[in-house]
Amino acid sequence: MYDLSTVLFALGLTVFAGLSTCIGGAIAVLRKNPGDRFMAGSLGFSAGVMLYVSFMEILPKGFAELTDAWGEGWGQWGAVGAFFFGIAVIAIIDRLVPEPINPHERGIGADPVLDARRRRLMKMGAFTAVAIAIHNFPEGFATFIAGLEDPEVAIAVAVAIAIHNIPEGVAVAVPIREATGSRAKAFTWSLLSGLAEPAGALIGFLLFMPLLGPVALGIAFAAVAGVMVFICLDELLPTAQATGRHHTAVYGLILGMAVMALSLLMLT
């Protein structure tokens, strides 16, 4: 059983990661237009952070837990299977969300201010917020689990998800602001989409806590790595490339990997 301080630490990391959408919301509110260079760089940076932490921290943690529980052979097969299972789950969710409201499809969040269908901006922003909230829900549970089991991994996961959530906050707030003319409403919608992460942590903790153990944690870590890799390849990098700022996106990707690598080295 976990003590109260450990639970509060894990919850605090989850709140930090989720509410980083407010940073994106604030950027969208304060800037007249985030611009293609900003979007390409921030999305590339986010992808670099998430890819590095997925392959260097989260997936190895899944391998370690499962090989300890099942042995070298079956543990490796289980971790690989969980990794691709995570990819399959997020891919199915992506397919089930209608394309016009899916934040993982190109165009949404890349430069929504220039969208010719201005009369649909409010609907687009609201649906984008809902879709992002759905995707943030399991991220919150993953961050919370990491916080309970391994603080170093948890901090890396929380930072990666926090950076990932900043451009999502931009994607929500920009169309809401343009549709309503209200900075407060735009910021509020970005805040609400981020609150899905601590909600996912609390609900997941209450429902699945009795099931947590080395096997469940190993599968969860490996699956979360798969989810994060899919989001990078399906959402962040294509959207960054769609801005037309290819080199900015690549530089952001490399910078994100470097920053994550340095932060992990400083934690060890």
CA atoms of 74 and 131, how far apart (whole Å): 36
Answer yes or no: is 197 a known binding residue.
Answer: yes
- 99 assigned to a ligand binding site: no
Q: From CA 234, how far away is CA 107, in angstroms rounded?
A: 13
165 carries a ligand binding annotation = yes
Half-sphere exposure of 143 (CA within 13 A, CB side): 33
With CA atoms as reference, report the closest residue to 184 among 24, 26, 16, 15.
26
- Residues 232, 58 contacting (CB under 8 angstroms): no
E-only strand ranges, 13-98? none
Q: Which of 163, 50, 38, 19 is nearest to 109 (CA)?
A: 38
Binding region for Zn(2+) = 139, 164, 168
Binding region = 136, 139, 164-165, 168, 197
Binding region for Fe(2+) = 136, 139, 165, 168, 197
